[in-house]
Amino acid sequence: MIGTVGERFIKYLWVFIPLLILGLLLNIVVGEVSIPLGALLDPSRVYRVIILNIRLPEALACIIVGADLSVAGAVMQALFRNPLAEPYVTGTSSGALLGALIGLLISVVSRHGSFSIVLMPLFSFVGAMAATALVLVFGRGGWLSLILAGIGVSIMLSSIVMMLDTYILTIMPTLPAIVYLLFGTVSGINWSEVLAMFCVTLPTITYLILSSREVNLLMISDEVAQAGGVNPGASRATFIALTGLLTAASVSFTGIIGFVGLVTPHITRLLLKSSDNSRVIPLSIISGSTIMLYANVLSKVVVPGVVMPITAITSLFGVPVLLTLLRGVGNE
């Protein structure tokens, strides 16, 4: 069995790494200004500016966000023993969004706009943790209670975000539109923001990969985890905080992007035919990044000349998966 899973792991890499590279290239050449493939080897000054200042940061942001949300989803599903758990469904993303907006408002009111790159992730993390705690308090009755609590909290916080967003734009009409945070996009992201996301993502995901054994034990039961030398309460709290940190790192700069964290772990487990998080987590990084890259490309080409919200693309594929999972869990 181990050898079989190992073979699937290698095959998974052989399939998704080329898809990831192709997706990266498509993100660089596809857009309002199409860039010929030949120009990538020796781009003109105009193409060089577009590639280095616009397209490449966007593509790298897709990779980071895809990795963040996919790993957060895989870990949350294991911790909650719930196949429907992920940052979007459980309301974590909405809490992170509200926190990011508050951080942006503080930086603007204080007239220190440059502080937003620090305040937005910081407040976003606090918001993500508060929303997750609220969902856990009201969702103790089982998988359905958790999902209903997540939907309720998500709707409530999104409503607050819309009102706050409208108020900010009313008193400060010169402030760049921040409605995009409600829908999710990597358009306009810069190198500083990509670096900030990367500095949070790399150590957090590395720690989660190294701690996959603990995640596996908690996925089975608290009793098994305790027998394996793991403190269930402390470990679960740590992992929930880390998933909130990953969610905050993404939402702060790209807004809410739904269902990537739900779909990716399930695709990974299905192809691997294994729930071993030592394999699911690292492979979810690759597949989640790949999904985000292609979703971003589709957002540019669905309507020529218009960049659609990425959540509109991911939801088209994510909602059917959610409904299928709901039906499957409900029949158990």
Question: Mind listing the pLDDT tens digit for each residue in 189-224?
Answer: 999 999 999 999 999 999 999 999 999 999 999 899
Q: At CB < 8 A and 24+ separation, what contacts does 166-175 make? A: 168/101, 168/105, 168/108, 172/108, 175/108
At 321, is the pLDDT very low, low, confident or very high (cuts 50, 70, 90)?
confident
Q: Locate 154 and state its tokens.
A: 């998500």
Using an 8 Å Cβ cutoff, are 215 and 277 in contact?
yes
Q: How far is CA 88 from the centre of its chain?
A: 8
> Phi and psi (nearest 5°) for 35?
-110, 120
Q: How many CB atoms lie within 10 A of CB 286?
A: 22
- What pTM was computed for the model? 0.90
**Domain covering 2-330, topology:** ABC transporter involved in vitamin B12 uptake, BtuC (1.10.3470)
Pair 124, 97: CB distance under 8 Å: yes
Q: Is 189 left (phi over 0), alpha (psi -120 to 50) or beta?
A: beta
Q: How many CA atoms lie within 13 A of 96 on its CB side?
A: 32
Cβ burial of 4 (10 Å; 0-12, 13-18, 19+) is exposed
Burial of 144 (0-12, 13-18, 19+ CB in 10 A): middle
- Kindly list the domain boundaries of the chain, sorted by start residue: 2-330
Condensed to tens digits (0 to 9), the pLDDT of residues 270-289 reads 888 889 999 999 999 999 99
Average pLDDT, the chain: 87
Burial 92-115 (b: 16+ CB within 10 A, else e): bbbbbbbbbbbbbbbbbeeeeeeb
Q: At 3, is the pLDDT very low, low, confident or very high (cuts 50, 70, 90)? A: low
pLDDT score recorded for residue 1 = 45
